[in-house]
Structure 1
Amino acid sequence: MTCKKNPEPRIVAFRLTNASLITQLADGRTVSVPLAWSWRLSEATPKQRNNFEIMGSGQGVYWPDIDEDISAAGMLCGTPARRPKRATRSRQSKAGSTAKRARVPV
């Protein structure tokens, strides 16, 4: 038995609640993901969250005020956005001390 590949999911309607992102797809499915899956949206103001646009022909949703976009495929796959790792203070100190040692003549 073979499975027919589904076409790329397309968003036809989108709404936000205080806790969820809810999309209506062209094929009739409704997909809801927690707002917490996007750290940028979680930290955004209500005004920033409500300033969104559906991208292209429904491939995703974009929030220009916070430069966040979430694809319909990403919502279906269940992939939360990861917060970028920042260098810890000890890593920065080590990098700085290594650079200083490299400059000292031997």
Structure 2
Amino acid sequence: MNTAISTELTIQHVRVTENEIIARLADGRVISVPLACSWRLSEATPGQRAHFRLIGSGQGVHWPDVDEDISVEGLLHGVPARRPRSTSAPKRGALRRREPPNRRTQPTRVKRRVQSGGHSARG
């Protein structure tokens, strides 16, 4: 009979350097992932990176200053977080690329001839 020992993965300690996120797990393993896996942390200041707390009894880490959460599973898989696409208006002073108008959606212009008594105004 095969029995598997179930161990829940939990983080005991986290350290963030300029290049990586390092987590020590309760089972003794150390996980290291590139800081680029979290665009929020890679853009954060060293002080913001240092301000974190373990959440879910060690199942994840939360950085309140940059609103970033990373689970132990996320660290193990090392899948980079996607940067959200901006749907807001451009910031003041930002250059905005302007697309040429779609000719098919432009209203047609009607040329009118001015008629006065059946003769044109030209002589």
The residue identity in structure 2 corresponding to 1:14 is: V
Percent of matched pairs sharing the same residue: 57
Larger Rg: 2
Measured in 2, the distance between the counterparts of 1:47 and 1:62 equals 14
SS, match of residue 57 in structure 1: helix
Q: Which runs of 4+ in 1 moved over 2 A?
A: 2-8
Aligned to 1:98: none
Aligned length: 91
1:1-106 correspondence runs (5 A): 4=4, 6-87=6-87
Q: Which runs of 5+ in 2 are unaligned?
A: 88-95, 98-123
- Structure with bigger RCO (C-alpha 8 Å, 6+ apart): 1
Shift of 1:3: 8.1
Q: RMSD of aligned C-alpha atoms?
A: 2.7
TM (norm. structure 1) is: 0.74
TM (norm. structure 2) is: 0.64
Q: Which runs of 5+ in 1 are unaligned?
A: 91-106
Call closer, same or farther: CA 1:56–1:67 in 2, change over 3 Å.
Answer: same
